Chains A and B, each alone.
Chain A
Amino acid sequence: MTRSSWARPAVRIVGNAVGVLVGAATAAFLAQTALPGDRATAILNIRAGQAELRTPEELAPITAEFGLDRPLWQQYADYLLGLVRGDLGTSYLQFRPVGAIIGEQLGATVVLAITAIAIAWMLMVVWIVATGGRGPRLTALGSLVDVTTAALPAYWLGIILLLVFALGLGWFPVLGDGTPLSLVLPALTLAIPLAGFLAQATRTEFERALEQPFALSARMRGQSDLGVRLGHVLRHASLPAISLSGWALGATLSGAVVVESIFSRPGIGQVLVSAVSSQDLPVVVGVVVLTAAFYVAANLLVDLASALVDPRQRAA
């Protein structure tokens, strides 16, 4: 592999990444500036815990403090500049740098997302290898389970799991204290539908690959059925699921918003919901940009992974 062959795609990818990020930042910023009501009032009311109009005298200091009186383009420009310097701005409510706020919560969510995806893959692979292309009945059962699990909404599954395994059986803690045990249920909540989703994509491919000549010639070499499934077919079948995993990370982030509220875990989801509901502009925009960054990073990983699994892609 010569350097040039890597350089070109690398440039392209980075280009895309930057494009996506700037686009995301802009979109988020514009979205937030379109928020209803007067931000200064909101800040004051939240600090007071009262919902009422405010006199200009009351608002003046706040407006000054956050430069809300400046023209929009100026706020935007400052924002982008700050972004370049890695400064996401300062929270209206916590008087703290958004970077810090997100920073403390990021870990929890990332751990959750990664664990979820990992579990999803494990479930999916076992399930597919066990039921894939094993004749009408098993295939039927298999795909039924795929479809059903894929259709489970996170909020519902989450509550049921919580109800049964934490509140009912008490196997798992109710609160999201940092312990690994407390990670199980939230991760499962995200993983199960995801597994079903990936399985749907994989099953078709798996059954197709099972019927490919290379699988046949492996058998003709004396390879066992399991050997063929694990050694040859699975690798081919996993490709679509891999390329889906980039999207899946986004999905788990979406899910985190719900799951974190159900299992009262700290994390980006919580930050986002509370920030949206308290109109903490810098935080929301920060989260949005972060998610976009996530997406970009995830896709880089995906490209890498699928290049590993399918060497032919390196050439192309």
Chain B
Amino acid sequence: MTLLDFSALREVDDDLDPELRAAAHLGAPAPRLVVENLRVSFRTPDGERPVVRGLSFSLGAGECVAIVGESGSGKSVSARSLVGLTGRGSVVHVDRLEILGADARALSSRAWRRLRGRHVGFVLQDALVSLDPLRAVGRELDEALRLHGRAPRAERRRSAVELLRRVGVPRPEERARLRPDELSGGLRQRALIATAIAHDPEIVIADEPTTALDATVQAHVLAELDAMRARGTAVILISHDLSVVARLADRIVVMRGGEVVESGPAARLLGRPEHPYTQRLVAAVPGLETRGRALSPEGAEGPSAALPEAAPGDGPLDPPVVLEARGLVKAFASRGARGAAPLRAVDDVSFTLHAGETLGIVGESGSGKSTTARLALGFSEPEEGEVIVLGAPWSRVPEARRRPLRPRLAVVAQDPLSTFDPRWTVGRILGDALPRAVRRDPRARAAAVRRLLDDVGLPAGDGSVLGRFPLTLSGGQRQRVAIARALATEPAIIVLDEAVSALDVTIQAQILDLLLDLQRERDLAYLFISHDLGVIGHVSDRVLVMQHGRVVEQGPTERVLRAPEHPYTQELVASILPAPRPSNPPPGRKDPS
């Protein structure tokens, strides 16, 4: 039981033994954290399952190390093992783990507790669930303050408000009395950060701190972390998002399946990624610049590679209008006590969608873009205005009249899983989606299903997913199945509502490539809804920017994103983090030597 007094250790930081310096690649003044060969595995009924295989890095004051990886890369577990919270059934081996110069391998659970929050702050993603949803953020802060230190109530209340102010929460006094769900995404994330830095910890670990946030908010939060780093806090940033990392990190560790594939100074790693996986990651980030280019090596072999310049939309001169929205208005009864008047989720939205083009609708949460999508799909009826699909009235008509046209208008949702009947196998799901005639004839049906799988790049032969349940598929596979189902009825229009938002960046790249290829092959019209300007910039021919249910700006993507006119659009564009662009030709084309 080593109960360490870390405050005492701060002084001795200066004279560090050379070994430790060696361990820290850079001559950082005094490594606050040294990790060598961290290995984590989980005991499962079927043996130990390693999730981290040898992670090493060191971190000095005012430094930021980023650990980048996709789901299952082990980055989060690594982060948690640094505060001894890998959870039940986990086995952690580490050759060396020094926190503030003290050997943390032999820490008692009690000592860990004194360490957490006081010397190491931890910020999780999505404050909506990472802060106790039933508590006012003030109380949450109060808990943080109470845990280490015996300040009286009143003082704690003061410092709570002070903390909120520090992380840039306006009107902190009243905000402290609100619950996470009563705060905007940005504010609540800041509140979460505030709880983590209540005791000015020397080290802050941020695990996907901005993932759930809108672009504009994301920028603010990152700025906050940056400020902390500037104040001398050592920051460990866990993220899947290279653009986020590029903004903050001094050094980057890229992980994949528990292995460290590449690590080094941020500029170098992003500029000249060496490992093919890193190259893929870098190349996979969509944006205006990547238009018409494949994002994934797989996609590179597809038609898009064949005609790289063929920007979508360069079809016939005046392609027919397939979908039109005229002055749509949709209001919802005001939620709860606040918001007296009915909230206008969609307010006078009009647009046209031409065959073979992609219309991107971009906006932040609550901007009404998804409501617009539902109106277009005829899932809900507009109070005013109307939707016209392929020239036929679509709004305020009995479902029976829409039905004949339904097959021509398909949808792919953000979370495909919920759109699959859990009892059905992929084969049945797809078969069921086929036109009646095909559906009825077993042979034709089987063939058609195979073709669909093939179209979306899923194995139709052996290793086929036909017999599997959606639940057992990976996110990418699920989304492919969803797309296949959308294609089953040979639609003219596909509404994609945040269709790629839930995917890892490399998977997202593949799906985006797939979508664009399909569009070219079949002259599909996409109504593409996303909160991610990068994605929108990559896919859409024209974009429609929404805020508070209104269309603030619309026009050709290039124009809108390069020369935004409306102030909101400008803010939005400004908030885009510059995606890291490799100086050498995009990966996938040639082997990295």
Contacts and interface: CB of A to CB of B under 8 A. Distances in A.
Given A1-B337, A2-B337, A314-B336, A223 B143 contact: yes
A2 B122 CA distance: 38
A103 B148 CA distance: 55
Most buried by A among B114, B148, B337: B337
A132 to B, nearest CB: 13
Interface in A262-316: 309-312, 314-316
Contacts of A231: 143
A214 interface: yes
A220 B134 contact: no
A221 B195 contact: yes
A229 B133 CA distance: 15
A240 B48 CA distance: 36
11 contacts: A1-B337, A213-B124, A216-B130, A219-B85, A219-B116, A220-B83, A221-B196, A222-B148, A223-B143, A232-B135, A312-B181
Given A5-B337, A212-B129, A219-B116, 4 more contacts: A217-B131, A221-B196, A231-B143, A315-B335
A312 to B, nearest CB: 6
A224 interface: yes
B266 interface: no
Interface in B95-116: 113-116
Nearest to B334: A5
Interface of B: 83, 85, 88, 113-118, 121-122, 124-126, 129-135, 143-144, 147-148, 179, 181, 192, 195-196, 198, 335-338
Given A221-B196, A312-B179, A214 B132 contact: yes
A51 to B, nearest CB: 59
A218 interface: yes
Nearest to A316: B336
A278 B336 CA distance: 52
B114 A217 contact: no
A259 to B, nearest CB: 36
A96 interface: no
Interface of A: 1-2, 5, 135, 212-214, 216-224, 231-232, 235-236, 309-312, 314-316
A217 B134 contact: no
A229 B543 CA distance: 48
A228 to B, nearest CB: 10
B147 A221 contact: yes
B134 A216 contact: no
A151 to B, nearest CB: 29
A221 B204 CA distance: 11
A117 B198 CA distance: 41
B122 A217 contact: yes
Would you list the 9 A-B pairs with minimal beta carbon distance, nearest first?
A315-B336, A220-B122, A222-B117, A221-B117, A5-B337, A222-B116, A213-B130, A214-B132, A222-B147
A316 B198 CA distance: 32
Q: Is the interface of B mostly helix, strand, loop or mixed?
A: loop
Contacts of B179: 311-312
Contact of A214 (B116, B125, B130, B147): B130
A217 B188 CA distance: 14
Nearest to A232: B132
B132 A220 contact: no
Nearest to B132: A214
B129 to A, nearest CB: 5
Nearest to B135: A232
Given A310-B134, A311-B134, A312-B181, A217 B85 contact: no
Nearest to A3: B337
Contacts of B131: 214, 217
Given A213-B124, A309-B134, A312-B179, A222 B115 contact: yes
Contacts of B124: 213, 216-217, 220
Most buried by A among B85, B113, B198: B113
A314 B337 contact: yes
A231 B146 CA distance: 13
A312 B133 contact: yes
A212 B129 CA distance: 7
A223 B147 contact: yes
A223 to B, nearest CB: 6
B337 A222 contact: no
A235 B134 contact: yes
Given A223-B147, A315-B335, A316-B336, A214 B113 contact: no
A214 B135 CA distance: 11
Contacts of A315: 335-338
A314 B117 CA distance: 32
Contacts of B118: 222
Contacts of A219: 85, 116
Nearest to B129: A213
Given A235-B134, A311-B179, A220 B335 contact: no
Contacts of A224: 113
A214 B188 CA distance: 13
A17 to B, nearest CB: 23
A214 B122 CA distance: 12
B85 A312 contact: no
A67 B572 CA distance: 81
Contacts of B126: 213
Contacts of B132: 214, 218, 232
A219 B132 CA distance: 12
A104 to B, nearest CB: 42
Most buried by A among B85, B133, B179, B338: B133
B143 A218 contact: yes
Contacts of A213: 124-126, 129-130
A91 to B, nearest CB: 49
A280 B356 CA distance: 79
A79 B134 CA distance: 47
Contacts of A216: 85, 124, 130
A309 B135 CA distance: 10
A217 B113 contact: no
